Amino acid sequence: MNKAQHIAIIMDGNGRWAEQRGEKRFVGHEAGAETIRDITTFCANNPEIQRLSLYAFSTENWKRPKLEVEFLMKLLSKYLEKELPIYLNNDVRFEVIGDTTRFSSALQKQIKKLEEATKHCTSLVQNLALNYGSRNEILRAVNSLKDSDMITEESLNNALDCKHDVDLLIRTGGDHRLSNYLLWQAAYAELFFSDTLWPDFTSKELEGIIQSYKVVERRFGGIK
């Protein structure tokens, strides 16, 4: 049976969830943050899962209305400030992938502080993708290797923000696309698409997807 050691999730549907309820979009983002806590806790207590990568803010999300972006930055700051006990209680190591240099210096310090405070945790690594885009990640990796005699698959992989292949990639919210997320790492990932909007996504649904993944025949280009 397959093991979902690295699960990646595109957390889509916060805004639509709120709009369906006649609420402002920021209400959906707040509800989505609660779902992150539930899913992270579930994964931390599943010994097969080693890494959980969550697409929180993309390089393209800066195109959203200014007020929404400002709210997302404040929500991120609030999340980073209050989540330390959750990470520590569940033995979760927090790491960020993406180009954080565009964030405020205060937000960058919060990120580094939480990474440092949880670096000893071993039950689960939670990658939070912030100002992340796979094309941007690959471009930065290539530029960092431009003085190398030859760029190999191994050297490029080691220069990426995330150096771990994805086993299972899930997108909530009903859309069927990867949206510039972990394109290198998901080369042979199994893809699952859920119509559930992210704030309504539960650990029970995730567990069902994992069980379906376990019996998928993975050939990696070969024949079995």
Q: Is 157 a catalytic residue?
A: no
207 in helix, strand or coil? helix
Tokens describing residue 5: 């050691």
Predicted structure pTM score: 0.94
CA 140/CA 143 separation, integer angstroms: 5
- Give the pLDDT score at 133: 97
Read off the amino acid at residue 87: Y
Q: Distance between CA atoms of 19 and 12, rounded to whole angstroms?
A: 14
CA distance 131 to 86: 23
For the chain, domain boundaries: 6-214
User: What is the chain's pLDDT, residue by residue, as a tens digit (224 residues)?
Assistant: 899 999 999 999 999 999 999 999 999 999 999 999 999 999 999 999 999 999 999 999 999 999 999 999 999 999 999 999 999 999 999 999 999 999 999 999 999 999 999 999 999 999 999 999 999 999 999 999 988 889 999 999 999 999 999 999 999 999 999 999 999 999 999 999 999 999 999 999 999 999 999 998 777 666 55
What is the pLDDT, as a whole number, of residue 163? Answer: 97
Helices then strands, counting H and E runs in the chain, come out as 8, 6
How many C-beta atoms lie closer than 10 Å to residue 166's C-beta? Answer: 24
Q: Which of 2, 14, 61, 195 is catalytic?
A: 61
pLDDT score for 149: 83
Tell me the CATH number for domain 6-214.
3.40.1180.10
12 carries an active-site annotation: yes
Q: Which of 12, 127, 161, 167 is catalytic?
A: 12
Q: Quick one: which H or E segment has residue 152? A: none
